[in-house]
């Protein structure tokens, strides 16, 4: 087994037993089943930036238990909609999430649009791919608050390089703060502009040949 494969294999989740998940509370069941309760919850979710598909799913449920599950998915920002709460909790508990990534995820969860952030499992997959491929140069189009780019940068070798394209300056402020805290800012070239313009600039500078699949 190559060193890249061995390193990636060591990052795989351990087969630990899934943690217990509490059943929906009576209060939550009563809220959703009460007259106007579901509509009020859905209105709150919309204002908080919850994806429309989750809001529609919650509004369409007639079972209190199913509605509670949908509400929990919305609260957690879960993207794997086919997962049960128990399976998702098992996955989340066993993903080897770097402490700095966890801090960034928790800060982002309180921000508007937090559903755009990738999940810990998705970030772990990106990290594994970087290690397996032995990647040294990467590009990310759309940084948001930097969770996925930070996961990639942590997996890159010390001489690695990541071009991070993002146009939202408020999101970049958060991302750059965590790049510095994680000690990987020197690996990341932040492009604060439209991604199309940033990529065109790389082409104009003759950078295409420096990436395995070109630009």
Domain regions of the chain by residue span: 26-94, 97-210
* Dihedral angle over CA of 128, 132, 137, 139, nearest 10: -40
- pLDDT, residue 76, reads 53
Looking at mean pLDDT, say which of 20-24, 41-45, 138-142 comes out highest. Answer: 138-142
Residue 79 has pLDDT above 70, yes or no: no
- The predicted model scores a pTM of 0.61
- pLDDT, residue 22, reads 39
Q: Over range 99-120, report the average pLDDT.
A: 91
- pLDDT, residue 13, reads 44
d(CA 156, CA 151): 9
Residue 115 has pLDDT above 60, yes or no: yes
Residue 101 has pLDDT above 70, yes or no: yes
φ/ψ (deg, to 5) at 74: -65, -40
CATH number, domain 97-210: 3.40.50.150
Output 48 or 209, whichever has higher pLDDT: 209
């Amino acid at each position: 087994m190559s060193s890249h494969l061995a390193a990636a294999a060591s990052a795989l989740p351990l087969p630990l037993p899934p943690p217990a998940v509490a059943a929906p509370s009576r209060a939550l069941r009563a809220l959703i089943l009460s007259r106007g309760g579901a509509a009020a919850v859905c209105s709150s979710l919309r204002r908080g930036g919850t994806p429309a598909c989750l809001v529609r799913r919650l509004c369409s449920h007639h079972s209190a238990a199913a509605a509670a599950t949908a509400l929990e998915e919305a609260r957690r920002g879960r993207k794997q909609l086919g997962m049960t709460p128990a399976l998702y909790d098992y996955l989340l508990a066993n993903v080897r999430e770097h402490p700095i990534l966890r801090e960034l995820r928790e800060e982002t969860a309180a921000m508007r649009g937090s559903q755009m952030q990738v999940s810990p499992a998705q970030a772990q997959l990106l990290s594994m791919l970087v290690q397996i491929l032995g990647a040294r140069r990467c590009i990310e189009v759309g940084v948001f608050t930097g969770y996925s780019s930070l996961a990639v940068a942590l997996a890159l070798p010390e001489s690695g390089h990541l071009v991070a394209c993002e146009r939202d300056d408020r999101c970049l402020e958060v991302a750059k703060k965590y790049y510095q805290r994680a000690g990987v800012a020197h690996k990341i070239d932040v492009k604060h502009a439209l991604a199309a313009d940033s990529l065109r600039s790389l082409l104009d500078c003759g950078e295409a040949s420096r990436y395995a699949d070109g630009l």
